[in-house]
A and B are shown apart, each in its own frame.
Chain A
Amino acid sequence: MQIHQHIIEFVSDAGEGAQTAGQCLGTVSAKMGNGIWTVEIIPAEVEPPRRSRAGASGNRVRIGSKKITNAGDQADLVVAFNEQVLYSRFDVGAMRDGTIILLDDKWASVDDENIRKEFADAVADFKNRKADIRFVPFESETKKHIKDPRHGKNIWALGLVCAIYDRDLKLAEIEITKKFAKKSQEIVDTNLKLLHAGYDWAMQNTDLRFSIPAEPSDVPKIVVNGNIALALGIMAAGIEVCSMYPITPATSISHYLAEAFPRMGCVVHQAEDEISAIGFAIGASFAGKTPVTITSGPGLALKNEFLALAIMAELPLVVVIVQRGGPSTGLPTRVEQGDLLSALYAQPGDAPKIVMAPSNHEECFHFIITARKLAETFRTPVIVLSDANLATGQQPIPRPNPKTTWFAPPIDQSDWDESVPPFDWDPQTGLSQRPIPGQKNGNYVVTGLAHDQNGRVAYESSINEHAMQARSRKLATLQHALKPPVIHGDPEGGDLLVIGWGSPRGAIEEAVDTLRAQGISVSSVTLKFLSPFEPNLKEIFSKFKHLLCVEINYSDPASFGDARRYSQLCTVLRAHTLCDIDCWSHVPGIPLTPKDIEAAILEHIDQKGIDKP
């Protein structure tokens, strides 16, 4: 059967390789020219007990003929190595009526009577919930080729799925070889055998067949997850020092960098804590190198004092924050956009800085290059806010073509003009050049204390006002240089404008497209800059009758009246534009789906009494 797109999930106990199978399927499909988006399905613990309901580990792969911008709604086909892990997928609404579940039926015949009963009950339950369950002997077939089928059935299952979706086995072989090459040739060979065995079994034993033809394209592409895109961006920006302390979901950036960075002559410093990580980065920055420090929300909390110092001392720095669920330790592996306000405001005092948010993998890459340049030009930290959804999802993006002009220039060691003070604030722009150690006659003392243009500690009221103004003016200067954001839908205006930032963009735009096709007057806009905002927001907003922020953080329902707490972007935009912006925001710990957003838009339209066609 030919289809435009399908959502496929692999779920299992942790350690059974379902993530690997999903990633391979994603890469193979991307290489075949399909649009893809993958999302990791991650249990909260590293190794939850086997067959536990909340222990699902795996991967969702959405494959389409065209570009795919989000993880989509409900699964069309699920591979499950046991029935218990499926419960959590039902609980989060990942299943629809008729979702095909390929389930290992070995549990029906194990010795343990309790397990047999659990299995029978679950299957009956899932059938009641209208799942289309089909039994597949994953383990027993895998056992024909390998002693411990727990390590191997994932690749057998990959072979099976490749047959069902008519995937190019040669490409799958390449991925498997890459994946296991580090282990041994024997392991590579066994897995290749398993791939073919799964494929052959499907050809002989099932008539499930779907084809998702790819639209031809001659744009060279790479397939990466958001964290790899950030890491590649860091390298392409010519950043030399990455200073970090491990924290989910940001760490994988530094895992990849730790491996690849030395090939560019660069270094990953794993500090003793997040405070030290940013302090080290700031030291490197003072010494002339624009560094990056990488963290998530809890790490940002620790970095705030230093962040304010970098702002006060006007030292360039790129800070990547891969947001996760909060507050506190929160949901370490899950998506949330809860750190916007803390990025904007959590530092001591008035601490103006640049904040950007990539909304897809291509932006993850290119925003870092922009961020480094902005950091240097504006002599300030730039925060890049990503999130767990972008971090682990894979997507094909046009292959960037790095240039040496993207790199940080070699540090200036020429003599400093003695007549120029170290904080020679331009009255209009607030901009100034900084001396770098080694520059003769540039000698100055960086201090977090209030200081004058010479960097001398100063307590005079007028100097304090002047310095504050200079630091703030830089943001106004940047705003003048930015373009207004682009409207998805109708730039002329309409009934409703959905306003978002970061990773929900794909799902928001898909929802908007679906509703526009039904004649509903809705558009959307995704803000790339959160400090300063892109220009003309008020003017753009005025073209729409209603405004709705959609984001992944907490807000109270409208019924709370004066006590209502708005979502984070909404709070800031209301203050910034004085427009009466409403919000629909949630914290499900998983990406917002296009269907959720469609429903929210429709409900909003109903409440506002807008006529539907």
Chain B
Amino acid sequence: MGETLSFVSFVTKEKASPTHKKEKLMNMTDWTLEPRMREFELGDYLGAAPRWCPSCGNHTVLKCLQKLCKDLNLPPEKTVVVSGIGCSSRLPHHMGTYGFHSLHGRSLPVACGIRARRPDLSIFVVTGDGDCCAIGAGHWLHALRYNMKMTVMLLDNNIYGLTKKQTSPTTPAHTKTNTHPNGAPLDPVNPLATAISMTNASFVAQCVDWLPEHLYNTLLRAQQHPGLAFIRIRQRCPHFMKGHLDAFMNDPNKIQILTDPRGVLPGSLTQTYGTVEHDPTSYDDAMKHARQTDPIPLGLLYLNESALRYDEFTQKGIVTSEEEKLAAIEAELNKFAIL
């Protein structure tokens, strides 16, 4: 399905026969259909009321995602939000779409399995810094390499939220946590540099939760990407990491907007923050920005649109008919026939 088309869906007026029940894309030569666009409202994407702490960054991500779905008119039944376990991973419950709240660290295998034979679904993945960079690190790297079409949001609050303030792989050194009361002993993992360095990674971007316009624009840009779009979202955790990003919020010099025609639209951000032109197809430049932690670079760091896509492999043959399958299994059995 073409990416631009998948944003728009039509239903037939007639719903009598089961084959016509199925939604179809507008087909210019098929005049038996009388296409009528379904218009969705924000309410169509609302699920159970979120119970995150007030001013937790998760709220912003949820709202941006809901607005994105509405603006792109994604049919809720064709949209799946997959997550692992953590505060952030509760997000699918608050969406009105299909959702899969899986296991700690395991959202990506599930999302890849959903994508394997379903090119028609829009897939979003929500993961936390522990979920993605600790217990799910293996899956994270391999999912980047599989490069199957989906948007992956790393809600990085630099701490284990749900289990109450343990050190996460992205917790800055010396931060006092419940598992390291005298301060985290190691420097944090850099999720951007790690992602970019993974073979076949194709889209790596960074946002911050307090700039929702840019977050929204990044999600929008990710939707146009043919493979896996990985977005790291730096997030506040008012409960366990009080004020840990205040300096970046309060000082405009500590944010830098990456600009490029292929990148994320900066929107109104250019009025407040400094910009720097960045060619996202340059691996070396991408790595340079990824390593830069102050100021925080925002936007699309790395883009490789020609990276191979594993979903092209897994989706081969999805239209095989029962007759063709029967013929194929008969032929296999014949290879072992003896009498």
Query: B-contacting residues of A (Cβ < 8 Å)?
Result: 27, 30-31, 33, 217-224, 228, 232, 235-236, 238, 240-241, 243, 260, 262-267, 269, 271-273, 275-289, 291, 305-306, 309, 396, 399-400, 402-404, 407, 413-415, 435, 437-449, 456-457
Q: Is the CB of A267 within 8 A of B337?
A: no
Within the complex, the shortest CB–CB distance from A275 to chain B, in Å, comes to 7
B24-63 vs A: 1/0 string, CB under 8 Å? 0000000000000000000000011000000000000000
Check if A221 sits within 8 Å of B337, measured CB to CB.
yes
**19 pairs across A/B with beta carbons < 8 Å?**
A221-B338, A262-B316, A265-B318, A267-B314, A267-B315, A269-B116, A275-B139, A279-B139, A284-B114, A284-B117, A285-B113, A287-B114, A287-B116, A287-B121, A306-B103, A403-B326, A414-B21, A445-B100, A446-B102
Decide if B317 is an interface residue (CB 8 Å cutoff): yes
Q: Nearest-CB distance from A398 to chain B (Å)?
A: 10
Report the minimal beta-carbon distance from A556 to chain B, rounded to whole angstroms. 37
The docked-state distance in angstroms from the alpha carbon of A415 to that of B95 is 19
Q: Which residues of B contact A448 (CB under 8 A)?
A: 85, 101-103
In the assembled complex, which residues on chain B have CB atoms less than 8 Å from the CB atom of A241? Answer: 113, 116-117, 314
Question: Hey, which chain B residues are within 8 Å of A287, CB to CB?
Answer: 80, 113-114, 116-118, 121
Q: Interface-forming stretch among B185-193, B252-260, B328-336? A: B328-336
- Shortest distance between the CB of B202 and any CB in chain A (Å): 18
Q: Which residue of chain B lies nearest to A400 when distances are taken between CB atoms in the complex?
A: B333
Interface segment out of the listed B71-79, B167-175, B263-271, B273-281: B71-79
Query: Nearest residue in B to A278 (C-beta to C-beta)?
Result: B109
Question: Once the chains bind, are A235 and B328 in contact (CB under 8 Å)?
Answer: yes
At the interface, yes or no: B128 with Cβ under 8 Å from chain A? no
Residue of A218, A260, A275, A276 near B332 (CB, 8 A) is: A260
Which A residue's beta carbon lies closest to that of B82? A283
Q: Are B106 and A279 in contact (CB under 8 A)?
A: yes
Expressed in whole angstroms, the minimum distance between the Cβ of A168 and any Cβ of chain B is 12
**Of residues 89 to 115 in B, which have CB atoms within 8 Å of A's CB atoms?**
92-93, 95-103, 106, 108-115
B338 and A223 contacting across the interface, CB-CB below 8 Å: yes
Take A399-B337, A446-B101 as given contacts and tell me if A291 and B113 are in contact as well, using a CB distance cutoff of 8 Å.
yes
Chain A's nearest CB lies how many Å from the CB of B314? Answer: 5
Q: Closest Cβ of chain B: how far from A514's Cβ, in Å? A: 28
CB pair B114 A286 closer than 8 Å? yes
Q: Which of B21, B319, B320, B329 contacts A402 (CB 8 A)?
A: B329
Interchain CB contact under 8 A, A280 and B109: yes
Contact A30 B338 (CB under 8 A): yes
Give the distance to chain A from B45, nearest Cβ to Cβ, in Å.
10
Please state if B116 and A284 are interface contacts (CB–CB under 8 Å).
Answer: yes
In-complex Cβ contact of A283 among B15, B109, B319 (8 A):
B109
The residue on A at minimum CB distance from B321 is A265
* CA–CA, A444 and B101, complex, Å: 11
In the complex, which residues of chain A have a beta carbon less than 8 angstroms from the beta carbon of B120?
Answer: 438
* Interface residue tally for chain B (C-beta within 8 Å): 65
B247 CB–A CB distance under 8 Å = no
Closest to B47 in A: A445
What is the CB-to-nearest-CB distance from A281 to chain B, in angstroms, rounded to a whole number? 6
Flag if B75 contacts A440 (CB, 8 Å): yes
In the complex, how many angstroms separate the beta carbon of A439 from the nearest chain B beta carbon?
6
Residues of B with C-beta under 8 A to A266: 317, 320
Pairs of residues from A and B, 4 with the lowest C-beta to C-beta distance, nearest first: A283-B113, A265-B317, A265-B320, A279-B109
- Check if A288 sits within 8 Å of B99, measured CB to CB: no
A267 B313 Cβ-Cβ under 8 A: yes
Q: Give which listed residue, A222, A278, A443, contacts B98 with CB less than 8 A.
A: A443
Known: A280-B116, A284-B117. A444 touches B106 (CB 8 A): no
Contact partner of B110 (CB less than 8 A), chosen from A263, A269, A279, A414, is: A279
Q: Which of B22, B314, B331 has the most CB of A within 10 A?
A: B314
CB distance from B303 to the nearest CB of A (A): 24
Q: Check B339 for interface membership: any CB of A closer than 8 A.
A: yes
Closest to B97 in A: A443
Q: Which of A291, A437, A456 contacts B80 (CB 8 A)?
A: A437
**Are B336's CB and A224's CB within 8 A?**
yes
Check A288/B118 contact, CB under 8 A, given A223-B336, A272-B139, A305-B103: yes
> Which of B78, B109, B115, B316 is A275 in contact with, Cβ under 8 Å?
B109
Contact between B338 and A276, CB atoms less than 8 A apart: no
Known: A407-B325, A413-B21. Contact between A243 and B337, CB under 8 A?
no
**Which residues of the partner chain A approach B92 to less than 8 Å between Cβ atoms?**
445
Contacts of B93 in A (CB 8 A): 445, 447, 456-457
Closest to A267 in B: B314
B317 near A399: Cβ-Cβ < 8 Å: no
Q: Which A residues touch B103, using CB under 8 A?
A: 279, 305-306, 309, 448
- State A67–B133 Cα separation when bound (angstroms): 56
User: What's the least CB distance linking B122 to chain A, in Å?
Assistant: 10
Interface pair A27/B338, CB less than 8 Å apart:
yes
Return chain B residues, CB-CB under 8 Å to A443: 76-77, 96-99
Q: Are B339 and A267 interface neighbours, CB within 8 A?
A: no
Cβ of A444 and Cβ of B99 under 8 Å apart?
yes
Closest to B90 in A: A457
Determine whether the beta carbon of A275 is less than 8 Å from that of B329.
no
The reply to whether A265 and B319 form a contact with Cβ atoms under 8 Å apart is yes
- CB of B261 within 8 Å of the partner chain: no
Q: In whole Å, how far is A155's beta carbon from the nearest beta carbon of chain B? A: 20
State the Cβ distance, A349 to closest chain B Cβ, in Å: 13
Contacts known (A219-B339, A263-B331); A282 close to B22, Cβ less than 8 A: no
Assess the B102–A279 pair: CB atoms within 8 A.
yes
Instruction: Decide yes or no whether B138 CB sits under 8 A from chain A.
Output: yes
A413: which of B22, B80, B315, B333 is its contact (CB, 8 Å)?
A: B22
A contact residues around B95 at 8 Å (CB): 445
- Asked if B14 is at the interface (CB within 8 A of a chain A CB), the reply is no
Query: Contact at A438–B106, with CB atoms within 8 Å?
Result: no
Residues of B within 8 A of A235 (CB): 325, 328-329, 332
Q: Which of A265, A269, A414 contacts B325 (CB 8 A)?
A: A265
Q: Are B332 and A438 in contact (CB under 8 A)?
A: no
Residues of A within 8 A of B251 (CB): none
A285–B111 Cα distance when bound, in Å, is: 11
- Identify which of B85, B99, B138 contacts A276 (C-beta below 8 A): B138
Instruction: Evaluate whether A264 and B317 lie within 8 angstroms (CB atoms) in the complex, with A445-B93, A445-B99 already known.
Output: yes
Residue among A235, A263, A435 with most chain B CB within 10 A: A263
In the complex, chain B residues whose CB is within 8 Å of the CB of A440: 23, 75, 77
Task: Given A265-B324, A402-B333, verify A437-B114 contact (CB < 8 Å).
Answer: yes
Q: Is B221 positioned at the interface, with any CB of A under 8 Å from its CB? A: no
Closest Cβ–Cβ distance, residue A177 to chain B (whole Å): 14
Which A residues are CB-close (under 8 A) to B246? none
Whether B2 sits at the interface, judged by CB under 8 Å, is: no
Give complex CA distance A160, B324 in Å: 43
Residue of A at shortest CB range from B139? A276
A396 and B117 in contact, given A265-B317, A267-B313 (Cβ under 8 angstroms): no
Distance of B70 from chain A, by nearest CB (Å): 15
Chain B residues near A219 (CB-CB < 8 A)? 339
Q: Which residues from chain B contact A264 at a C-beta distance below 8 Å? A: 317, 320, 324-325, 328-329
Residues of B within 8 A of A439 (CB): 77
Q: How many angstroms between the C-alpha atoms of A11 and B208 in the bound complex?
A: 66
Residues of B within 8 A of A279 (CB): 102-103, 106, 108-110, 113, 139
| Given A446-B99, A457-B93, 7 more pairs with CB closer than 8 A | A222-B333, A275-B139, A279-B106, A283-B82, A283-B110, A413-B23, A445-B101
CB < 8 Å neighbour of A33 from B48, B102, B326, B339: B339
Q: Are A438 and B110 in contact (CB under 8 A)?
A: no
Q: Does B142 contact A (CB under 8 A)?
A: yes
Q: How long is the Cα–Cα vector from A273 to B332 in the complex, in angstroms? A: 29
Hey, what's the 0/1 contact readout for B279-299 against A, CB within 8 Å counting as 1?
000000000000000000000
**Cβ contacts under 8 Å, A414 to chain B:** 18, 21-22
Chain B: CB-nearest residue to A413: B22
CB closest chain-A residue, reference B319: A265
Complex: A414 Cα to B77 Cα, angstroms: 11
> Which residues of chain B are near A396, meaning CB under 8 Å?
338
A459 → chain B, closest Cβ, in Å?
12
